[in-house]
């Protein structure tokens, strides 16, 4: 299922390339639209998460959102890459189509993703279980990243963007519906349910949560910048035409990340814990991206993306694991399991990375003089996209490293929290029996 959910989510990283470079939408308009979308996405995430915590149905709390939201989200994903307008002839119509389809797709996709991710800490309770499941789940996700991030430029050049999107939608649907039968939910807490504003306040006053989502926002800003800019970097900074080179670079990063997941899980995560593992991964990410400012060949860029992929594995592995610790800590504080609210609030905050990426993209294109309608771009465009691929993501990784240095749930405090939660659950089981 993670494979199927990853494909459309990652393929939307090419929306700027599709709408701006292919359909010739004004890049300033596109950046503004993406920013507005990010604000909308930020608002609907906590609402959907809160609703999933309070949903009661014969399928459970989370599963209905996955079961009934997947098909509409994939149909809208296909339509998102099926724009019938051109930026040169009908720019306003193209912009309206882009915004409407993006909003509709994102609403359904958020419901499905929140329901799915909220099941991870509920189905798997211990750190060992979660890291074991996380590396397996994300090893599968790597294939989704390869399809959703590495293949679109290549396939779009062969069969077109629209056909590529519908092929991916069908592939994602097959994977998601094949996995529905494996989902299960545990009985929820019997405690008093919190109202929305009370739940919002309880979540926003959880210091560990705020630190984690701030670091994860920087992660998505760094990786989102790389994904959104790779096609531009290859074409204008390296001077290589066609989608094959972009596919090679992104595939190198994700294949390496997939291969590195098991070593991270086996040798690093048990020794360093969630915080230490993430801090190491962010530090390696920052170092690995420096060569992109200097290389001028496909080989040099490929070596760099392989190094980045090795660091990316640590980020992929530990993101949901460390958030699960935060949710466990909240159970001790509130007496409830509120996975939906926490994943919704995490989406609320981390989605702002999209707005940040869009604004940086808009600023760089304006400063460099990039104009998608020109046959030959100004010389500053090459340096502009080289800057875009290095300075913003490196800055994001370093900020995440600094943020995690004050994360409280590590060492003795984390062990004490886990012990207290185990005693609480043991007492509940005795009472029920």
- pLDDT tens across 97-148, in order? 999 999 999 899 999 998 998 888 888 888 888 888 888 888 888 888 788 8
- pLDDT tens across 185-223, in order? 877 544 456 677 888 888 888 999 999 999 999 999 998
Same domain, 128 and 223: no
The two tokens of residue 289 are 């991206």
Pick the last residue of a domain from 157, 191, 225. 191
Tell me the chain's radius of gyration from C-alpha atoms.
Answer: 21
Same domain, 126 and 24: yes
Same domain, 245 and 333: yes
- pLDDT tens across 322-344, in order? 999 999 999 888 888 888 889 88
pLDDT level of residue 288 (50, 70, 90 thresholds): very high
3-state helix, strand, coil in the chain (%, to 5): 80, 0, 20
- CA dist 129 → 10, 56, 269 (Å): 26, 27, 12
Q: What is the pLDDT at residue 429?
A: 46
Same domain, 183 and 200: no
Residue 208, classed as helix, strand or coil, is helix
State yes or no: pLDDT of 305 exceeds 90: yes
Stretch (H or E) spanning 155: helix 152-159
pLDDT level of residue 170 (50, 70, 90 thresholds): very high
Residue 300, classified by CB atoms within 10 Å of its CB into exposed (0-12), middle (13-18) or buried (19+), is middle
State yes or no: pLDDT of 39 exceeds 50: yes
Pick the last residue of a domain from 148, 166, 191. 191
pLDDT level of residue 263 (50, 70, 90 thresholds): very high
Same domain, 167 and 227: no
Same domain, 180 and 215: no
Give CA 75 to chain center in angstroms. 20
CATH number at residue 149: 1.20.1250.20
Same domain, 187 and 202: no
Least confident piece of the model among 49-58, 74-83, 308-317, 410-419: 49-58
Residues of the chain with pLDDT > 70, as a percent, come to 97
Pick the last residue of a domain from 165, 191, 217. 191
Domain count of the fold of the chain: 2
Task: Compute the mean pLDDT over every residue in the chain, rounded to the nearest whole number.
Answer: 89
The two tokens of residue 46 are 């906590």
Higher pLDDT, 397 or 121: 397
Same domain, 63 and 17: yes
Which residue intervals of 233-268 are DSSP H helices?
Answer: 244-263
What is the pLDDT averaged over residues 243-249?
86
- pLDDT tens across 406-418, in order? 999 999 999 999 9
> What is the rounded CA–CA span in Å between residue 118 and residue 47?
14
How many Cα atoms are found within 13 Å in the side-chain-facing hemisphere of 287?
Answer: 10
pLDDT level of residue 229 (50, 70, 90 thresholds): very high
Same domain, 213 and 355: yes
- pLDDT tens across 68-82, in order? 999 999 999 999 999
Same domain, 61 and 157: yes
Same domain, 294 and 409: yes
Same domain, 250 and 381: yes
67: containing domain: 1-191
The two tokens of residue 325 are 């610790």
Q: What is the pLDDT at residue 190?
A: 42
Least confident piece of the model among 28-37, 87-96, 187-196, 355-364: 187-196
Q: What is the pLDDT at residue 192?
A: 53
């Amino acid at each position: 299922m993670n494979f199927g959910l990853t494909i459309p989510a990652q393929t939307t990283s090419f929306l700027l390339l599709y709408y701006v470079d292919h359909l010739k939408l004004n890049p300033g308009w596109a950046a503004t639209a993406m920013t507005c979308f990010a604000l909308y996405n930020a608002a609907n995430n906590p609402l959907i998460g809160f609703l999933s915590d309070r949903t009661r149905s014969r399928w459970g709390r989370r599963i209905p959102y996955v079961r009934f939201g997947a098909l509409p989200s994939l149909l809208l994903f296909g339509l998102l890459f099926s724009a019938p307008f051109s930026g040169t002839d009908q720019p306003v119509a193209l912009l309206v189509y882009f915004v409407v389809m993006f909003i509709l797709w994102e609403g359904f996709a958020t419901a499905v993703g929140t329901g799915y991710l909220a099941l991870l800490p509920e189905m798997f309770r211990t750190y060992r279980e979660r890291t074991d499941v996380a590396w397996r789940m994300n090893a599968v996700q790597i294939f989704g990243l390869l399809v959703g991030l590495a293949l679109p430029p290549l396939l779009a050049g062969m069969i077109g963007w629209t056909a590529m999107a519908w092929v991916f939608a069908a592939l994602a649907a097959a994977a998601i519906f094949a996995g529905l039968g494996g989902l299960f939910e545990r009985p929820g807490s019997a405690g008093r349910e919190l109202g929305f504003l009370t739940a919002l306040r309880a979540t926003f006053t959880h210091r560990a949560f705020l630190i984690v989502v701030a670091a994860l926002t920087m992660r998505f800003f760094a990786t989102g910048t790389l994904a959104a800019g790779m096609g531009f970097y290859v074409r204008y900074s390296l001077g290589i035409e066609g989608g094959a080179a972009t596919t090679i670079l992104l595939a190198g990063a994700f294949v390496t990340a997939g291969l590195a997941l098991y070593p991270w899980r086996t040798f690093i995560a048990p020794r360093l814990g969630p915080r230490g593992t993430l801090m190491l991964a962010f530090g390696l990410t920052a170092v690995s991206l420096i060569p992109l400012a200097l290389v001028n060949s496909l080989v040099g860029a490929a070596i760099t993306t392989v190094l980045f992929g090795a660091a990316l594995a640590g980020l992929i592995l530990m993101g949901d694991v460390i958030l699960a610790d935060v949710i466990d800590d909240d159970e001790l504080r509130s007496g409830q399991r509120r996975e939906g609210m926490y994943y919704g609030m995490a989406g609320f905050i981390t989605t702002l990375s999209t707005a940040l990426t869009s604004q940086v993209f808009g600023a760089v294109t304006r400063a460099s003089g990039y104009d998608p309608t020109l046959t030959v771009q100004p010389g500053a465009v090459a340096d502009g996209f080289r800057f875009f691929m290095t300075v913003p993501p490196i800055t994001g990784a370093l900020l995440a490293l600094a943020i995690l240095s004050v994360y409280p749930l590590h060492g003795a405090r984390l062990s004490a929290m886990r012990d207290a939660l185990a005693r609480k659950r043991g007492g509940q089981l005795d009472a029920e029996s």
